[in-house]
């Protein structure tokens, strides 16, 4: 579809108001004044493409996924894999309670083991104290849930006590709520332990706030060109096996998953560095960095994929509410809660992983990627309007997608026109 028609279809699907549709085009999006209220020393705005991944069914619901990303092939890959998963009923996703962990580091404790028990004995009092720091979240059904205390015997600064406050953030990402609650507990924890509290900050290893997705793809749906479905399924499982066993491959494999995750996290105004940190720390939780996803054959012979990862994302608070385009992205997604948002994000992560593995296990990543990449190369070489398609077609036909070649072709084309 031409660009304007696409915007029109999305606006109709998501029932966007005129201003909201304009926010997509950038006209009514983030203003300089608003940006100046978001961070410090603002001197401008920086734009990225916002695309829509299609074909997703998540828990029986048709979903359009807004993705903010600079890399060609990502949106196409997610949409293609979603179509494969759709043939098996789409994605089934769940998310655990939105519980974050806040850490307090307690130093200079004479007997950390006894202090640990003193803290656990005061659990209820400490949880009530933490709740006083955010009555709104408590009213919404969230707040302090539990308290854990660990002694870490060997650190470069000697033994220390680490207290974990488990805090349910409801629909917020929760960094502010958790950090405030931790800070409010510090004086009382110093009293109880006789120690000195230094750090009071959430952990990005949000392993109590997990999102999980699964999909099954009928093997016939994987058939492609000269590749039989069986062969593709086997190739995907063998490709996954290397990521499961080898950190060098696991890093790239998980990067492919994050190609699906980050663009929605960014589109919805969430903290993608937090999500990245959580994902990779979770992938290393056994002590050896490994794949976040799994691929196998199910009892019926279908290809079955799963993905489990921490996803600390919110639909309220922070930039989600301040950035006008983030609001529109949330509306397009139709996610009513942080949980639903996480369920869609983890599904798109799994789809992106499937798209990459399928390409890698068959014709390789470059063939499909090159045509899309060629557009960026042509534009970077100075091609404009219709020239872009012509330069792309010639580079792809020649099998030479390179900046120098784009410049030469462009110069030749322009000369011919003189």
Output the 3-class SS for 145-183: EEEEEEEECCCCCCCEEEEEEEEECCCECCHHHHHHHHH
- 145 lines the binding site for ligand MEV (CB under 6 A): no
Residue 292's nearest CA partner among 259, 339, 341, 337 is 259
Q: Which residues within the stretch 36-75 sit at the binding site for ligand MEV (CB under 6 A)?
A: 71
C-alpha to C-alpha distance for 223 and 216, rounded to whole angstroms: 15
Residue number, 293 or 344, with CB nearest to ligand MEV:
293
Q: CA Rg, the chain, in Å?
A: 25
Indicate which single residue of 200, 253, 280, 358 sits in contact with ligand MEV (rule: CB under 6 A). 253
The catalytic position among 134, 262, 271, 340 is: 271
- Tokens 């003189």 -> residue: 418
238 catalytic per annotation? no
Shortest separation between residue 151's beta carbon and ligand MEV, angstroms: 40
What residues does 149 pair with on adjacent strands?
163
253 catalytic per annotation? no
C-alpha to C-alpha distance for 363 and 360, rounded to whole angstroms: 7
- Which one of the spans 2-10, 169-177, 249-257, 406-414 is the region binding ligand MEV (CB under 6 A)? 249-257
Shortest separation between residue 369's beta carbon and ligand MEV, angstroms: 8
β-strand 50-58 against 61-68: which pairing, if any?
Answer: antiparallel
C-alpha to C-alpha distance for 250 and 229, rounded to whole angstroms: 25
C-alpha to C-alpha distance for 409 and 416, rounded to whole angstroms: 11
Residue 163's nearest CA partner among 214, 134, 198, 128 is 198
Residue number, 119 or 233, with CB nearest to ligand MEV:
233
- Which one of the spans 4-12, 51-59, 183-191, 250-258 is the region binding ligand MEV (CB under 6 A)? 250-258
Specify the 3-state DSSP secondary structure of 57: strand
Indicate which single residue of 197, 213, 356, 395 sits in contact with ligand MEV (rule: CB under 6 A). 356
- 293 lines the binding site for ligand MEV (CB under 6 A): no
Indicate which single residue of 255, 371, 375, 400 sits in contact with ligand MEV (rule: CB under 6 A). 255
369 catalytic per annotation? yes
Query: Sign of the CA dihedral 332, 337, 340, 344?
Result: positive
Shortest separation between residue 332's beta carbon and ligand MEV, angstroms: 24
Residue number, 201 or 365, with CB nearest to ligand MEV:
365
Indicate which single residue of 31, 114, 155, 252 sits in contact with ligand MEV (rule: CB under 6 A). 252
Read off the tokens for 303: 């290809």
Residue 100's nearest CA partner among 262, 210, 183 is 210
- 256 lines the binding site for ligand MEV (CB under 6 A): yes
Query: What Å distances lie between residue 241 and 13, 290, 293, 304, 361, CA to CA?
Result: 40, 10, 10, 14, 12
C-alpha to C-alpha distance for 282 and 292, rounded to whole angstroms: 8
Query: Sign of the CA dihedral 153, 157, 158, 159?
Result: negative
Residue number, 167 or 295, with CB nearest to ligand MEV:
295
Shortest separation between residue 71's beta carbon and ligand MEV, angstroms: 6
CB 362 within 8 A of CB 232: yes
- 281 lines the binding site for ligand MEV (CB under 6 A): no
- 259 lines the binding site for ligand MEV (CB under 6 A): yes
255 catalytic per annotation? yes
- Which one of the spans 5-13, 36-44, 218-226, 254-262 is the region binding ligand MEV (CB under 6 A)? 254-262
Per-residue mark of binding to ligand MEV, 70-89 (x: CB under 6 A): -x------------------
Indicate which single residue of 10, 107, 223, 365 sits in contact with ligand MEV (rule: CB under 6 A). 365
The catalytic position among 22, 71, 108, 148 is: 71
Q: Which element (helix H / strand E) includes 99? A: strand 99-107
The catalytic position among 323, 369, 373, 387 is: 369
The residues carrying an active-site annotation are 71, 255, 271, 369
Which residues would be at the binding site for ligand MEV (CB under 6 A)?
A: 71, 252-253, 255-256, 259, 356, 360, 365
């Amino acid at each position: 579809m031409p660009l304007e028609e696409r915007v029109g279809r999305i606006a109709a699907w998501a029932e966007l108001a005129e201003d909201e549709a304009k926010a997509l085009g950038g006209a009514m999006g983030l203003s300089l004044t608003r940006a100046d209220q978001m961070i410090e020393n603002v001197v401008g705005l920086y734009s990225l493409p916002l695309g829509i991944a299609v074909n997703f069914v998540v828990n029986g619901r048709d979903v359009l996924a807004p993705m903010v990303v600079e890399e060609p092939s990502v949106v196409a890959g997610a949409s293609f894999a979603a179509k494969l998963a759709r043939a098996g009923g789409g994605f089934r996703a769940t998310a655990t309670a939105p519980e974050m962990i806040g850490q307090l580091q307690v130093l200079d404790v004479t007997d950390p083991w006894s202090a640990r028990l003193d803290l656990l004995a005061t659990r209820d009092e400490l949880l009530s104290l933490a709740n006083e720091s955010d009555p709104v979240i408590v009213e919404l059904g969230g707040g302090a849930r539990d308290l854990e205390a660990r002694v870490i015997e060997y650190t470069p600064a000697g033994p220390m006590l680490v207290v974990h406050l488990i805090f349910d953030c409801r629909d917020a990402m929760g960094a502010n709520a958790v950090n405030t609650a931790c800070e409010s507990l510090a004086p009382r924890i110093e009293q109880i332990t006789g120690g000195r509290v230094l750090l009071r900050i959430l952990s990005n290893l949000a392993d109590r706030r997990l999102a999980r997705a699964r999909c099954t793809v009928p093997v016939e749906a994987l058939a492609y060109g000269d590749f039989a479905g069986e062969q593709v399924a086997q190739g995907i499982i063998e490709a996954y096996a290397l990521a499961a066993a080898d950190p060098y491959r696991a890093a790239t494999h998980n990067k492919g998953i994050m190609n699906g995750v980050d663009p929605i996290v960014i589109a919805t105004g969430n903290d993608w560095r937090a999500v990245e940190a959580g994902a990779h720390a979770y992938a290393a939780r056994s002590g050896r960095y490994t794949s976040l996803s799994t691929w196998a054959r199910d009892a019926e012979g279908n290809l079955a994929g799963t993905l489990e990862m921490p996803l600390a994302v919110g639909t309220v608070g922070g930039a989600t509410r301040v950035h006008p385009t983030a609001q529109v992205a949330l509306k397009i997604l139709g996610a009513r809660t942080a949980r639903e948002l996480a369920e869609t994000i983890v599904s798109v992560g799994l789809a992106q992983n499937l798209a990459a593995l399928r390409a890698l296990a068959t014709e390789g990543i470059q063939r499909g990627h090159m045509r899309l990449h060629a557009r960026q190369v042509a534009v970077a070489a100075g091609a404009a309007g219709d020239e872009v398609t012509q330069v792309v077609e010639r580079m792809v036909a020649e099998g030479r997608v390179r900046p120098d070649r784009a410049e030469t072709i462009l110069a030749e084309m322009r000369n011919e026109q003189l």
